[in-house]
Each structure stands twice: as structure tokens, then as C-alpha cells.
Amino acid sequence: MTAITAVRLTPVNVARTTGLVCGHVIVELEADDGCTGIGEMSDFQHLPRFHPDVGDLTGTLQSMLAGTDPWATNRISQLLDEAFPSAGSLYDKGAVIRCGIDTALWDLRGKMSGRSVSSLLGGAVRTELPVAYPVFRQRARGDVEENLERVAGRLDEGFTMFRVYVGGDLELDELFLRSLRTRFGDRIEIKSLDFSNLLHGTAALRFIERTRDIGYALVEAPARAGDVAGLAEVRRRGLVPVSEHVYDAASALRLVSERAVDVLNVGLFALGGITPALQVIAIAEAAGLDCLIGTTQELSIGTAAAAHLGVATGCVTVASDPVGPLLYRSDVVERPVTYSGGALQPPSGPGLGLELDPERLREVAGPLRWERGATTAIVDRVGSTS
């Protein structure tokens, strides 16, 4: 029996183009056959505002996993769930930890067998994963023109689908949306307005009613976190399909049973990796719902995992969200994932199809940290101000 021999965790700090420095942990799982699987815990820069002790976490995972058969999926999932139970929150840092290990295990199994992760998942049903490029919230009037220019640049690169964050300053949000449609017309598609659970359902409904003429395919998280009744009310009255993130199978079942959504947002970071995501996908398929692959905007390792899952899943029919490698100033792999014509290309080769670049990894390695600045900078994914 092949067994895991070592767990190595490397904390890294990588800046986004917005200036926000995000903390990730790169996972390496070594096996006694010489193979090493890589994963990514991303990103820890969400609230609540703390980071794990990476040294202590390494020791914990080493004691849990050393000597374990990497193919023992059920046993390892049970161990991870017991050690890092779901907190019932979208930004559960225990789920981020589980995700990094689970991703590395799928990569390790692929490398051991010479098969891609999408092949291990049953085979690709599409060749690429269409994605929507994110436009972050308007915080000042100057952001409106800057974001319009950002859209113009991405349009030139082949992106025609965009996801717009709203829910902060609603007047600026509407100004941007109308300016976006006036300037670009039907050259672009607005996949969704992402409310990020910032508004009560009634407030989101009022905004939807006054902007529905702009044209967007769906609304995301248009109620406070956990307010399933609010989501259901928006779905009934808003006349626009509703999507919401899920953080475990139980939350997916509740959304389905209360007819609160049309689309399940399957984010590996929120669920704890590919293995628990498969449970949610099964629920969606049984309920006849569509899915999209969500993101916290990972580096290439986490993005590749999303790509392999997305291309191997039939019900992922809505444009997905992982564009992290385009939002960061550096990466940790030899060849970052690529995009073409507004779609994410799953890397070829065994496992995730990626290899770490030791030099790139050293350049960004260092203790996880928080920069000084307002909490709103974290929520809005922009650089902090001291």
C-alpha cells in the first residue's frame, strides 16, 4: 500500500492588482512512491480577521495523515471533518484548510495513476470552463470610470461576461450599471449582481426592481447570510433567477427544500474541497438545479481544481467565477493556468497538471499577516489604507 509520508505547508502572501495582500497556504503531500500532490488553502484574508498558526497546523495534519493510504477518500474525509468541522459560514477557515488538503489528495491520486483530476471525476463533459470577470464594488465616483476602463480592457482580451459586486453605495452601483450598458451595449453580458449578503432581502428587491431593465442573468446572495426566507422572497418577487453559495450539504438541502434558489454556487473553499463538492452537486442534479463553480479567487492551484471539477460536471451550466490568477501579481507554479475567449482552460497532464516553481514560491513565502486598514477594505477586496 502506498502511504502519505509527509505534510508540508508553506504560507505565502501575494498581492492582488487592487493592492490587497492575500494570505494563502501551499500544501504538499508526499507519498512513499515518490509522488507529491499539491494543494492550496485560499485565501485567508476574509473575515474573521485572524490567521491560523501554520506550524501548529502542520504538526496536526502530519499526525493525522502520515501512514494513510491517499486513496482512502472516505476515511480521510471523516478525519478532516472531525478535526475541522463546518462552522456553518461561507468564510469558514476550517473549510479552507480542508480544501487545501483535499485538493492535494486529488492531485496526488492523479499523479500516482497518471490520470487528470477531471478523468478521476468521470471524464470531461466540456473542454473548458466559461467564466465571468468580476467588477468590484464602487466605493467612490472615481471608481465608476476606472471600472469601465477595466471592463474595456478585459473585453479586448476576449471576456464578454461580467459579474458586478453591488450592495455598498447603491446610487454608485446603479450609475455604474447604467454607464456599463450605455457604453458597451450588447457587446457584454452581465452574468450577475453579487450582493454578497450585504443587504436585507427587501432592500435588494427594491434595487432589483429599479435596475432590472439594465439586463442581467441572475442575482447572487440578495439577502443576509442565512436568511433563506429572504432569498425565497427575492426569488418569488424579483423576476430574476437567484444564486447562493453553499457551505455544506445541509445548507444545499435547505436552499433546495425551501425553493430559495435557482442556482447553487459551489465554491471549493467554502465546502472543503472537491470531495464534499460532489455531494452538493448530487443534490443539485437530483433537484434539477444548475450550478456554477464559485471562488474566493485562488492562485493557479486552487483555480485548476475548480477547472477540473467544472469541466467534469454536467450541471455546471452557468458561467463560473474563478479568475484569481488574473487578479494576482504573482503565482507559485511553473505555468499558471490560462484563459482563452473568456474561458478557463483546465491544465493537461496527471493530477491538476501543475508543478510548483520553487523560486516563485520562495519569493512570496512568509508568515501570514494582516495589514493595517479598515475592515471594509477586506470586504471589498481592495488595498488597505493605513
Domain ranges of the chain: 4-116+368-379, 119-352
Q: In one letter, which amino acid is 328?
A: Y
Q: According to the model, what pLDDT value does residue 384 have?
A: 54
Highest CATH level, class, for 4-116+368-379: alpha beta
Q: According to the model, what pLDDT value does residue 378 have?
A: 74
Q: Confidence band (pLDDT; 50, 70, 90) for 385? A: very low
Strands 21-31 and 36-41: antiparallel
Cell of 186: 450588447
Q: Confidence band (pLDDT; 50, 70, 90) for 371? A: confident
The structure's pTM equals: 0.96
- Of the CA atoms within 13 Å of residue 144, those in its CB half-sphere come to 17
Which of 335, 341, 346 has the alpha carbon at shortest distance from 157?
341
Q: In one letter, which amino acid is 362?
A: R
Give the number of other Cβ atoms within 10 Å of residue 288's Cβ: 8
**Residue of 133, 165, 328, 339 marked catalytic:** 165
Mean pLDDT of the chain: 96
Residues 151-161 pLDDT 10s: 999 999 999 99
According to DSSP, residue 187 is labeled G
- Rounded to whole angstroms, the Cα distance separating 230 from 204 reads 10
Q: Is the dihedral of CA 152, 346, 335, 371 positive or negative?
A: positive
165 is catalytic: yes
Q: Confidence band (pLDDT; 50, 70, 90) for 379? A: confident
Cell 470577470 locates to 133
- Rounded to whole angstroms, the Cα distance separating 266 from 268 reads 6
Which of 130, 109, 99, 116 has the alpha carbon at shortest distance from 308?
116
DSSP 41-106: E--TTSSS-----HHHHHHHHHHHHTT--TT-HHHHHHHHHHHS---SSTT-HHHHHHHHHHHHHH
**CA-only gyration radius of the chain, Å:** 20
Which of 333, 308, 353, 335 has the alpha carbon at shortest distance from 129?
308
Residues 27-42 pLDDT 10s: 999 999 999 999 999 9
Which of 112, 113, 15, 5 has the alpha carbon at shortest distance from 61?
5
pLDDT exceeds cutoff 60 at 173: yes
pLDDT exceeds cutoff 80 at 380: no
Please determine, looking at this structure, whether the domain spanning 119-352 carries the CATH number 3.20.20.120. yes
Which of 67, 54, 66, 74 has the alpha carbon at shortest distance from 7?
66
Q: What is the mean pLDDT of residues 203-231?
A: 97
Residues 273-288 pLDDT 10s: 999 999 999 999 999 9
**Residue of 91, 133, 247, 339 marked catalytic:** 91
Residues 6 or more apart whose CB falls under 8 angstroms from that of 367 comprise 11, 54
Alpha helices in 212-328, H assignment, sequence order:
228-238, 249-257, 268-271, 274-287, 300-311, 324-327
339 is catalytic: no
The span from the first CA to the last CA of the chain, in angstroms, equals 53
